[in-house]
Amino acid sequence: MVDETVLLESRALRESVSDRTEALDKIKALSVLPDGLHVTTQMVADYFEVGIEAVKSLVKDHREELQANGYRLLTGSALRSFKDLCGLSPQARSVGIFSRRAVLNVAMLLRDSIVARQVRSYLLDAERKTYPQPVDDLVRARVDIDLAALDDRIARISAETASRIIGRTVVPMLNQLVRASGEQHRELLEIREDLERVKSTLRERGAGRTVPAVDVMDRRAFEDHVAELCRRDGCAVTDTGGSGPSTDLVGHTADGRRLMVRCEHSGSERTVRSEEMREFIGAAKDEHGAEVALFVATSAFTPAALDLATRHGVTAVHRALLEAWSTGTVLQVLR
């Protein structure tokens, strides 16, 4: 089962569902300006039940992506015309306006909003109904077959599922964007590169990169797997050792930021608790001065652990995000 938080990390996945603006009204009625097309920053904040500064901060961090989906900052003559049309305050010197696609984009990026989480869950539920047989469920239904047959089955299903999603959803979206505008060339290239990495990895590595295959690794093999993913994405990492199910990697990202990675291999039934996240935050931030901190686990995280991670700038790589990372998607924090 794919967790809704995977949309926070994967821009390619966000783009693949960016047209499904009906998800907004399925969760809560979205009020719009008199033009019937746009909403202001304050209206976006009201919809997601957060402070306006949270929306402004998100726009600052993701302006390029939001602009690609219809966000605009109006000034000058364009603002004067829009004020007349929509009856906005004449004192405003600039006004940020969002299209419905841009509001949906906010929903896929805004961490601390119950409404945004509900929108993300709705989007992924709709995707699951379109493709109702996840790889993990099929694997569990075939536990009585031998390991070699299982590996072959996982690899084939992964490739088929990825090809269906790419062929039916993502590729048409890319073609439409290419026809609509030539201004998003770099973003399109990044999406295509992610897709090519996914397809290439599925072809070359097969089952070796899926979460079920990771589950059967021992602690050392899992650490090597995570280190390989870091190096694939331009990081330099070394092993600091460890005991039990956890191991730490330290190093630098491709752009020189200090990096620390906790590798936690403990099975799918267990959850990472808040006290474990708190201990990692202390080690990463206080002892190593890490600017980028990843807690990579083969299991889920408790809500309290996720809350701690969000507040302290730690990326919690749970099972669903680990699968996406393993099959070629670059973590947003490492880009």
Confidence of residue 143 (pLDDT cuts 50, 70, 90): very low
CATH topology of domain 217-334: Trna Endonuclease; Chain: A, domain 1 (3.40.1350)
Percent of the chain with pLDDT over 90: 37
**DSSP labels for 231-265?**
HHTT-EEEEEE-STTEEEEEEE-TTS-EEEEEEE-
Are the beta carbons of 120 and 7 closer than 8 angstroms?
Answer: yes
Q: Cα separation of 184 and 205, whole Å?
A: 31
Q: Report helix, strand or coil for 98.
A: strand
Does residue 314 or residue 163 have the better pLDDT?
314
Q: What is the pTM of this model?
A: 0.43
Nearest to 314 by CA among 296, 292, 330: 292
For 253-274, the pLDDT digits (tens) are 999 999 999 999 877 678 999 9
User: 138, 157 in Cβ contact below 8 A?
Assistant: yes
Pull the structure tokens for residue 83: 């004020």
DSSP state of 331: P
Q: Residue length, the chain? A: 335
What's the pLDDT at 249?
93
For the ranges 58-62, 127-131, 191-195, the one whose mean pLDDT is highest: 58-62
Q: What is the mean pLDDT of the chain?
A: 79
Distance of CA 329 to the CA centre of its chain: 9
Q: Given a cut of 70, is residue 37 above it in pLDDT? A: yes
Question: How do residues 50-66 score in pLDDT, each as one tens digit?
Answer: 999 999 999 999 999 99
- Nearest residue to 72 via CA among 81, 63, 84: 63
The tally of CA atoms less than 13 A away on the side-chain side of residue 139 is 21
Range name among 7-11, 26-30, 208-212 with the lowest pLDDT average? 208-212
Sign, Cα dihedral of 310, 311, 314, 319: negative
pLDDT higher than 90, residue 151: no
Q: Are 235 and 259 in contact (CB under 8 A)?
A: yes
The mean per-residue pLDDT over the stretch 170-175 comes to: 59
**Over the Cα atoms of the chain, what is R_g?**
21
Taking the domains of the chain in order of start, what are their residue ranges?
6-128, 131-212, 217-334
Residue 134's pLDDT is what? 44
